[in-house]
Amino acid sequence: MIFEYYLTAGEYKYNIINYLFLVFFILLQTARISVLLTLGKYWNTKIYRIHGTSLVSGGLYKYFKHPNYIIVICEIFTIPMIFDLYYTQLFFPY
């Protein structure tokens, strides 16, 4: 990503940031904070089912089963697009 950014920076007089994707990234981070607050002490990077507890059904979990994973997928798409890094966008998910 850094290599493509410096490689394509010579094409522009100024380094252009795509503010639409930047705003979308900020919205993704607010959604992540919502997920962290909803799960509280149960937040983890893996999915665990703890016996004796009920499934979380508040916050974004009302609408999506695993909202944190959806947020990560959107970040993988959004981060290169903030800087118009189209080639990185193609290979970043791998």
Q: Is residue 64 part of a domain?
A: yes
pLDDT bracket for residue 13 (50, 70, 90): low
Q: Helix or strand or coil: residue 52?
A: coil
CA distance 49 to 39: 13
Q: Is residue 62 part of a domain?
A: yes
pLDDT bracket for residue 11 (50, 70, 90): low
Task: Write out the DSSP string of 27-58.
Answer: HHHHHHHHHHHHHGGG--SS----TTSPPP-S
Q: What range does the domain containing 29 cover?
A: 2-6+17-41+56-91
Q: Is the pLDDT of residue 86 over 70?
A: yes
CA distance 81 to 22: 9
Q: Is residue 50 part of a domain?
A: no
Task: Report the pLDDT value the prediction gives residue 36, as an integer from 0 to 100.
Answer: 95
Residue positions counted in the chain? 94
Query: Residue 42 corresponds to which tokens in the numbers above?
Result: 């149960």
Inter-CA distances, 38 with 13, 41, 58, Å: 44, 9, 7
The answer to pTM > 0.75 is: yes
Instruction: Please give the tally of structural domains in the chain.
Output: 1
Q: Is residue 49 part of a domain?
A: no
- The tens digit of pLDDT for each residue in 40-67 reads 988 888 888 888 888 889 999 999 989 9
Task: Report the pLDDT value the prediction gives residue 20, as an integer from 0 to 100.
Answer: 93
Q: Is residue 86 part of a domain?
A: yes
Task: Report the pLDDT value the prediction gives residue 33, as an integer from 0 to 100.
Answer: 97
Q: Is residue 33 part of a domain?
A: yes
